[in-house]
Amino acid sequence: MKEPIKWVKNTMPKTDSVPPMNLMTEGEIQKAWNFHRSFPCYQVTPLVTLPHLAQRLGIRALYLKDESYRFNLNAFKVLGGSYAIARFIAQRLGQDISTLPYAVLISDTIKKKLGDRTFYTATDGNHGRGVAWAAHTLHQRSVVFMPTGSSQTRLQNILKEGADARVTDLNYDEAVCFAYEQALHDPQGVMVQDTAWEGYEEIPGWIMQGYGTISYEVHQQLAQYGVSQPTHIFVQAGVGSFAGSVQGYVAQVYTEQPPVVTVVEAAVADCLYRSAKENTLVSVGGSLQTIMAGLACGRANTISWQILKQHSGYFVSAPDWVAAKGMRVLGAPLRGDRQVISGESGAVTTGLLTAMLENDEYRDLRESLGLQADSVVLVVSTEGDTDPERYRSILWDGELSSV
């Protein structure tokens, strides 16, 4: 018996202004994009169109942003960590980020001015690898703590980037607290985390802006397809920083008829879904064990939450089988559609869309969302096969296909 998908429509009271939205103005996001494109390895990641899947699902078009190509790191997270580190350096040097492209940041002059820094973080894998890569690229140290149950492959990928990294016996949110304490006790320590709380909001805000490069690229790419805007966006959430980044950007760019944004979480860590349902910010505890390691976060980013509760249309709690379904749909596509290698956290939105449109059990959700023949849907595959063994187990061996 499959665990059901749960959902709630956003009925939370709206306010006239949301200060965190100032983070996600088009001007601020263009700054982040300009920074990222100064990297020699920068390339715009593909926006894939899946016409045959769209036809099967009964919608007009389906577009997927494939972040497995980002900086050769197989996931999008590096965008946030690298931009936050660059903004931290710019602040310490009293300079604007626009004066510090990649070539300047890695110079001996900047190294001498900044001195030695150690960047601390907690991660399931992708964020930590991005922070480690950025720190190593800028000739700085990084220390990465991973929650219990983390993939050894992901740990090894972080170690290869030069980080001091280990798997702890803590859950994700506990690992975040532990990393923060370690950074506080290090005179040269800097915490780089996308989870925000009272007193720690500046760096998470920079990380959200860094993620904005994805939305900026998508906006340009859709125009190349002749699409003015999507009608629906499905975006995954762990702490919610990426979801808030997407929502914050589209709410300011598509002002006349904003797309319906649905936030999708892993069922064991559905703090945003529960918060929307209860109309107050709540946390989820426990081991948070899910195949969607990148979404196994029980405490929301407080900045992002202010954006999501103001603008997002729906919140969904998705069991693991939804992500597994999405991985198979993308990994074994309909003839004529492009194959997308999407990991567990990356594929959950495609899995939800497919399950919802093919299964009458979720007819009420698709009707409430207004998904129909003229709908144009956007999803983001946030990671590739960052855990190759698990990926093959799901695609080749059918793991989670019958639960």
Q: 132 and 31, same structural domain?
A: no
DSSP helix/strand/coil, 318: strand
pLDDT digits (tens, 9 = 90+) for 23-76: 999 999 999 999 999 999 999 999 999 999 999 999 999 999 999 999 999 999
Q: 358 and 251, same structural domain?
A: yes
Comparing 5-9, 126-130, 211-215, 230-234, which segment has the lowest mean pLDDT? 126-130
154 pLDDT higher than 80: yes
The residue behind tokens 């720190």 is 135
| Cβ atoms 211, 80 nearer than 8 A | yes
Query: What would the DSSP string read from start to end of 160-201?
Result: HTT-EEEE-SS-HHHHHHHHHHHHHTSTTEEE--S--BTTB-
Closest CA to 194 of 249, 114, 285, 126: 126
Q: 276 and 128, same structural domain?
A: no
Query: What would the DSSP string read from start to end of 246-288?
Result: HHHHHHHHS-SSPPEEEEEEEGGG-HHHHHHHHTS-----S--
Separation between Cα atoms, residue 157 and residue 132, nearest integer Å: 10
| Average pLDDT estimate for 153-164 | 94
pLDDT at residue 232, rounded to an integer: 98
Closest CA to 68 of 57, 59, 77, 56: 77
Q: Is residue 237 domain-resident? A: yes
Q: 47 and 88, same structural domain?
A: no
Q: 65 and 82, same structural domain?
A: no
In degrees rounded to 5, what are phi and psi of residue 402? -125, 5
The band of 286, judged by pLDDT with boundaries at 50, 70 and 90, is: confident
21 pLDDT higher than 70: no
Q: 213 and 264, same structural domain?
A: yes
**Catalytic residue set:** 77, 124
pLDDT at residue 19, rounded to an integer: 62
pLDDT digits (tens, 9 = 90+) for 300-339: 999 999 999 999 999 999 999 999 999 999 999 999 999 9
The band of 198, judged by pLDDT with boundaries at 50, 70 and 90, is: confident
Q: 248 and 177, same structural domain?
A: no
Q: Is residue 1 domain-resident? A: no
pLDDT digits (tens, 9 = 90+) for 360-387: 999 999 999 999 999 999 999 999 999 9
pLDDT at residue 402, rounded to an integer: 65
Q: 232 and 106, same structural domain?
A: no
Q: For residue 9, what are the β-bridge partners?
A: 314
Report pTM: 0.95
Q: 160 and 43, same structural domain?
A: no
Chosen domain end from 198, 215, 250? 198
Cα 387 to Cα 157, 162, 294, 314, 371: the distances in Å are 10, 19, 11, 29, 33
Q: 215 and 94, same structural domain?
A: no
Q: Is residue 238 domain-resident? A: yes
Domain count, the chain: 2
Domain CATH number, residue 210: 3.40.50.1100
Q: Is residue 368 domain-resident? A: yes
The first and second tokens of residue 282, run together, are 């709540």
pLDDT at residue 188, rounded to an integer: 95
Chosen domain end from 166, 183, 198? 198
The first and second tokens of residue 263, run together, are 């936030």
| Average pLDDT estimate for 135-153 | 92
17 pLDDT higher than 70: no
pLDDT at residue 18, rounded to an integer: 62
Mean pLDDT across the chain: 95
Q: Is residue 257 domain-resident? A: yes
pLDDT digits (tens, 9 = 90+) for 203-223: 999 999 999 999 999 999 999
Chosen domain end from 177, 198, 219? 198
Q: Is residue 402 domain-resident? A: no
pLDDT at residue 200, rounded to an integer: 94
Q: Is residue 401 domain-resident? A: no
Q: 391 and 366, same structural domain?
A: yes
Separation between Cα atoms, residue 250 and residue 238, nearest integer Å: 19
Question: By residue range, what is the domain housing residue 155?
Answer: 78-198
DSSP helix/strand/coil, 32: helix
Percent of the chain topping pLDDT 70: 98
pLDDT at residue 22, rounded to an integer: 83
Q: Is residue 400 domain-resident? A: no
Q: 162 and 118, same structural domain?
A: yes
Separation between Cα atoms, residue 33 and residue 3, nearest integer Å: 40
